[in-house]
Amino acid sequence: MIQYAVTDSACLIALERIERLELLPASFEEVLAPPEVLKEFGKVPTWIEVRGAAEREVVARLRHEYLGEGESAAIALATEIPGAAVILDERKARRVALKLDLIVMGTLGVLVRAKELGVIRTVRPLVDELRRVGFYLTEDLLREVFRRAEEH
């Protein structure tokens, strides 16, 4: 089971907008974020461990692949923590992380995990809230999330 998660700012922003930021520390033993992500998010929740990637050249190389500063730093940090998931919602960043053999999860994956752990009862109301606050979701993604959450 995944114990550690490195998050990008998109997940933090999305969960804050629906007032469910607590799902992250409730779903992982430890949540980490590089300083670049917290700069984008604008605050540092007490439960986040702030840790920069030791391999700064990896961050620079990822930035060269036209990823955002926070995404690059989160992916680089995740490469340094064996077995950690990296939480990314942007498609290009997810592809890059998968090429690096990282465990990739998005905001919706966090919701499914929270349900699997018994932190929440259903994901559907939270998905509806995310949509209401402007979180973009394709119909294919929704079907997959509800299938994984066993909410048909």
| CATH code of the domain made up of 4-148 | 3.40.50
The full set of domain ranges for the chain reads 4-148
Supply φ then ψ for residue 87, to 5 degrees.
-100, 110
Q: What's the pLDDT score for residue 21?
A: 97
Q: What's the pLDDT score for residue 15?
A: 98
pLDDT at residue 1 greater than cutoff 80: no
Q: Quick: pLDDT tens for 32-89.
A: 999 999 999 999 999 999 999 999 999 999 998 889 999 999 999 999 999 999 999 9
Burial class, 1, CB count within 10 angstroms (exposed 0-12 / middle 13-18 / buried 19+): exposed
Average pLDDT over residues 141-145: 94
Rounded to two decimals, the pTM is: 0.95
Residue in 49, 43, 45, 53 with CA at minimum distance from that of residue 29: 49
pLDDT classification of 152: cutoffs 50, 70, 90: confident
C-beta of residue 72 within 8 angstroms of C-beta of residue 96: no
Name the β-bridge partners of 4. Answer: 30
pLDDT at residue 151 greater than cutoff 90: yes
Q: What's the pLDDT score for residue 144?
A: 95
Q: Quick: pLDDT tens for 85-132.
A: 999 999 999 999 999 999 999 999 999 999 999 999 999 999 999 999
